[in-house]
Amino acid sequence: MKDQDKVLKEVTQGEYKYGFYTDIETDIIAKGLNETVIRTIWEKKKEPEFMLEFRLNAYRKWLKMKMPDWAYLKIPAIDFQEISYYAAPRKKPKYESLDEVDPELIDTFNKLGIPLEEQMHLAGVAVDAVMDSVSVKTTFKETLAEKGIIFCSFSEALQEHPDLVRKYLSMAVPVGDNYFAALNSAVFSDGSFCYIPRGVRCPMELSTYFRINAANTGQFERTLIIADEGSYVSYLEGCTAPMRDENQLHAAVVEIIALGHAEVKYSTVQNWYPGDKNGKGGIYNFVTKRGICRGKSSKISWTQVETGSAITWKYPSCILLGDNSVGEFYSVALTNNHQQADTGTKMIHIGRNTKSTIVSKGISAGVSNNSYRGLVKVMPRALNARNFSQCDSLLMGDRCGAHTFPYIEVGNKSSVVEHEATTSKIGEDQIFYCNQRGISTEDAIGMIVNGYAREVLNKLPMEFAVEAQKLLAISLEGSVG
Amino acid sequence: MLSIKNLCVSIEGKEILTGINLEVRPGEVHAIMGPNGSGKSTLANVLAGREGYEITSGEITFEGEDLFELSPEERARKGIFLSFQYPVEIPGVPMVTFLKTSVNEHRKFKGEKPLTAGEFLKLMREKKQMVEMDTELTNRSVNEGFSGGEKKKNEIFQMALLEPRLSILDETDSGLDIDALKIVANGVNALKSPGRSTIVITHYQRLLDYIIPDHVHVLYKGKIVKSAGRELALELEEKGYEWIKQENGN
Ligand SMILES: Nc1ncnc2c1ncn2[C@@H]1O[C@H](COP(=O)(O)OP(=O)(O)OP(=O)(O)O)[C@@H](O)[C@H]1O
Ligand SMILES: [Mg+2]
């Protein structure tokens, strides 16, 4: 084996850095799924009446559905009766200041390099930290409240703004949309809710850190973001999970609704535990993310950096209903070792003069498989629709795979859809050039990969971009550190 | 400073260098000339530690150390600089990021504190003036969209930043216009000191009007077949390589 291949191998076989978990007492209900369990969740959460119906309806739909098998993934059979569908920290704490928060939780955040305090002060980020399924901490609420912005846990929204939830819930992702969305709708325990009133520009990035923490607890988060007419919000979601041996299921649903002239920017850095070098353990991440540009000239932009999970199944999408509305998808997906990712987007053009942009950068290392799957669909009435797609794949070593599945359906003659795709190998000559300037191979790879992904990283809010860059380098890092 | 003894190198079983002997002392400038494909870049790459070459025999010491014991980045940090014949582009990596990382790796090796962003930019400004490097270029990604000449200039710019002990310039003059050639030569001469040495690989005597060599060598079929003072370059310019080939039985 050539030296460089050896280093590449070393570099790409590092252990997961964030392999630890916090020991916080958890209240878990017995494993299994049936109507009684759903009722229990509903009762425990003291939800309004309509939610019981919503959940049961979803459950009944789910029963009639099958696991999707069209993705380029090998998904082991999941026993849904072996999962516990609800876990909540025993004392539901709501704190005024950081001092009151469980020091272990703070410690966990510190290990992740996300000092909560620093984040709040420096970046002015309101952090809604979701520990397991119940919101542990919500900050900056008052500042937001002054502007009429609602940013709270989903449970809280159901208590305090049931009409808003009822009006918009499942507008972008219908209950029976797909297998995992149906399951989520039936059993979701908590998540985040955000409402930006008419004409308001949210003064800070809203951010949520999701964590999986209780053993054997499937995670079913629900996020609903509503941007009323002429409003703007940038929303950040980042996560990293503790090292685990058992596979953990994660099936979140994120819905975004943008009304006329509203703009929502949704950024994700996803770093769930990917499993060990041999592919053991790791999170299964089956996420449904969809935004609907309901009003004229509205805009939804998804940016994601995906480095984690054993299996990723995720297609943040935009339904461009309003005339002149804009959908964007910027993605970096990195897979290493035995990871599998099938990710991409759907852009559904319904309104006139709608525009969409897709930039996908796949990076595969180890024996991983990385697929881009995208659908651009232009309905007959979507006159003058425009799409541009750029899908690049970068291979590290020759045991990994990259695949591109673009689906294009254009229903009228005035629309233009462009698709470009490239596949490249990380350049030996680029690495040597860096070496010759005193830069180690490991650092060189980090630098080259970050350069490759820059177009997407540039779309992230500043603080997040820095974190994401580190994450890309760490995800490819080996014995060092 | 650099001592090469009986160096033989093959690529995929094919002998490229067939017994090179070369002694470079501190402060000296050596020019290596020779027909296309004679092995000049191969020698430069082997000195810098590029992979893919099989060293079948010989030894190289750099400041008394066995060069083969050192990784490419260690050689770089110890002061070996290669100005590439064909510098590569690294899309998306800003020049400033790349250069700052490079400079700070060198500093770390010497036990010096890394430069802050401010300090680095100041250093960069100074060196940019020296080689008349355009800010528009340093604002781009590494070599991205640079013209052939701009790439070469960028190599010398990096040399100026790193102040190497031994610079190996592999056809840095090719593709340069007359003005750029002078600038590059000035850059090299500005660095000249009793402690620094330079190996200039070139096809043209012209560069050697500006960078005055102490020794000129002719590399032919993987061997140094002639060594003399700077007058040899003039002779080659005039007569070409035919007589060398004939002298060496070809
Ligand atoms: N990677 C390689 N694989 C196979 N042959 C190679 C490789 N690199 C160089 N060679 C061969 O080795 C010989 C010497 O090449 P080298 O690039 O060192 O020549 P050079 O003297 O620098 O020529 P030029 O003046 O054209 O730059 C050539 O015959 C070339 O084809
Ligand atoms: Mg050459």
Residue in chain B lying closest to A438 (CA)? B73
In this structure, what token pair is assigned to residue A35?
């109507």
pLDDT category at A208 given cuts 50, 70, 90 is low
Nearest CB to A438 within list B52, B77, B90: B77
Which residue has the least CA distance to atom 6 on ligand 1?
A: B11
In this structure, which residues have their CB less than 5 angstroms from ion ligand 2? Answer: B 40-41, 85
How far is the alpha carbon of B162 from chain A, nearest alpha carbon, in Å? 9
Whether B118 shows a pLDDT value over 70: the answer reads yes
pLDDT for A217: 40
Beta strands (DSSP E) in A45-139 are 87-89, 126-131, 134-138
User: Which residues, in sequence order, are CB contacts of A132 under 8 Å at separation 6+?
Assistant: A26, A87, A88, A89, A211, A212, A213, A214, A217, A219
Cα gap A432→A19, rounded to integer Å: 33
* pLDDT single digits (tens) B85-103: 999 999 999 999 999 999 9
pLDDT for A6: 57
First-to-last alpha carbon distance for chain A, in angstroms, is 24
Cα gap A279→A299, rounded to integer Å: 39
Ligand 1 atom nearest residue B44's Cα: 18
Nearest CB to A451 within list B48, B82, B93: B93
pLDDT category at A415 given cuts 50, 70, 90 is very high
Whether B244 shows a pLDDT value over 70: the answer reads yes
Do residue A435 and residue B72 have CB atoms under 8 angstroms apart?
A: yes
* Closest-approaching ligand to the CA atom of B203: 1
How far, in Å, from the CA of B40 to the mean position of ligand 1? 8
Fill in the amino acid letter for A403: H
In the numeric block, the tokens 């990385």 are attached to: A370
Chain B positions in Cβ-Cβ contact with residue A11 (cut-off 8 Å): none
Do residue A438 and residue B141 have CB atoms under 8 angstroms apart?
A: no
Using alpha carbons, list the distances in angstroms from residue B219 to B32, B33, B55: 7, 6, 18
Residues A381/A350, Cβ–Cβ less than 8 Å: yes
Mean pLDDT rounded to a whole number for chain A: 81
The three-state secondary structure class of A462 is helix
Fill in the amino acid letter for A19: G
Nearest CB to A433 within list B51, B77, B88: B88
* pLDDT single digits (tens) A94-140: 445 556 555 655 554 555 555 454 434 333 334 444 443 334 344 46
In this structure, what token pair is assigned to residue A51?
């939610």
Residue in chain B lying closest to A455 (CA)? B92
Ligand 1 atom nearest residue B85's Cα: 27
Chain B positions in Cβ-Cβ contact with residue A439 (cut-off 8 Å): 73, 101-102, 105
A190-196 and A150-153 strand pairing = antiparallel
The three-state secondary structure class of A123 is helix
CA neighbor of B27 nearest in space, from B223, B195, B147: B195
Whether A17 shows a pLDDT value over 70: the answer reads no
In chain B, where the domains are located: 2-247
Whether B111 shows a pLDDT value over 90: the answer reads yes
User: Which residues, in sequence order, are CB contacts of A363 under 8 Å at separation 6+?
Assistant: A332, A333, A334, A335, A370, A393, A394, A396, A449, A452, A453, A472
The per-residue DSSP string of A21-34 comes to -----EEEPPS--S
Cα gap A233→A207, rounded to integer Å: 11
The three-state secondary structure class of B68 is helix
pLDDT for A124: 34
State the DSSP code for B174.
T
Whether A20 shows a pLDDT value over 50: the answer reads no
Residues B30/B217, Cβ–Cβ less than 8 Å: yes
Beta strands (DSSP E) in A5-131 are 26-28, 87-89, 126-131
The three-state secondary structure class of B107 is helix
Chain A positions in Cβ-Cβ contact with residue B141 (cut-off 8 Å): 451
Do residue A429 and residue B88 have CB atoms under 8 angstroms apart?
A: yes
B2-247 fold: Rossmann fold (3.40.50)
In this structure, what token pair is assigned to residue A327?
């959908």
Furthest C-alpha separation in chain B? 59
The three-state secondary structure class of B184 is helix
CA neighbor of A200 nearest in space, from A152, A150, A157: A150
* pLDDT single digits (tens) B200-212: 999 888 888 899 9
Do residue A451 and residue B92 have CB atoms under 8 angstroms apart?
A: yes
Cα gap A46→A126, rounded to integer Å: 26
Which residue has the least CA distance to atom 30 on ligand 1?
A: B37
Residues A173/A255, Cβ–Cβ less than 8 Å: yes
Residues A246/A273, Cβ–Cβ less than 8 Å: no
Cα gap A294→A259, rounded to integer Å: 5
Chain A positions in Cβ-Cβ contact with residue B90 (cut-off 8 Å): 430, 433-434, 447-448, 451
pTM of the entire structure?
Answer: 0.81
Residues B89/B143, Cβ–Cβ less than 8 Å: yes
How far, in Å, from the CA of A416 to the mean position of ligand 2? 47
CA neighbor of A311 nearest in space, from A278, A274, A276, A346: A274
Do residue B98 and residue A437 have CB atoms under 8 angstroms apart?
A: yes
Nearest CB to B91 within list A436, A443, A451: A451
List the single range of A6-15, B59-68, B97-106, B118-127 with lowest mean pLDDT. Answer: A6-15
Opening angle at CA B7, ends B1 and B9, nearest 5: 130
List the single range of A13-22, B110-119, B155-164 with lowest mean pLDDT. Answer: A13-22
pLDDT for A297: 97
Which residue has the least CA distance to atom 28 on ligand 1?
A: B37
Residues A88/A426, Cβ–Cβ less than 8 Å: no
Torsion angles phi and psi, residue A113, rounded to 5: 75, 25
User: Which residues, in sequence order, are CB contacts of B52 under 8 Å at separation 6+?
Assistant: A2, B11
Do residue B92 and residue A453 have CB atoms under 8 angstroms apart?
A: yes
Of B16, B50, B86, B204, the one to substitute when testing ligand 1's pocket (max ligand atoms within 8 A of C-beta) is: B16
How far is the alpha carbon of A398 from chain B, nearest alpha carbon, in Å? 18
* pLDDT single digits (tens) A327-361: 999 999 988 888 888 899 999 999 999 999 999 99
pLDDT for A121: 33
In this structure, what token pair is assigned to residue A442?
């490991």
Measuring from each residue's beta carbon to the nearest atom of ligand 1, which residues come in under 6 Å? Answer: B 11-12, 16, 34, 36-42, 52, 85
Residue in chain A lying closest to B162 (CA)? A437
Which residue has the least CA distance to atom 31 on ligand 1?
A: B37
Chain B positions in Cβ-Cβ contact with residue A447 (cut-off 8 Å): 90, 93, 97-98, 101
List the single range of A59-73, A160-174, A400-414, A443-457 with lowest mean pLDDT. Answer: A59-73
Cα gap A241→A283, rounded to integer Å: 8
Residue in chain B lying closest to A441 (CA)? B73
Report the run of H or E that residue A410 belongs to, with start and end.
strand A401-410
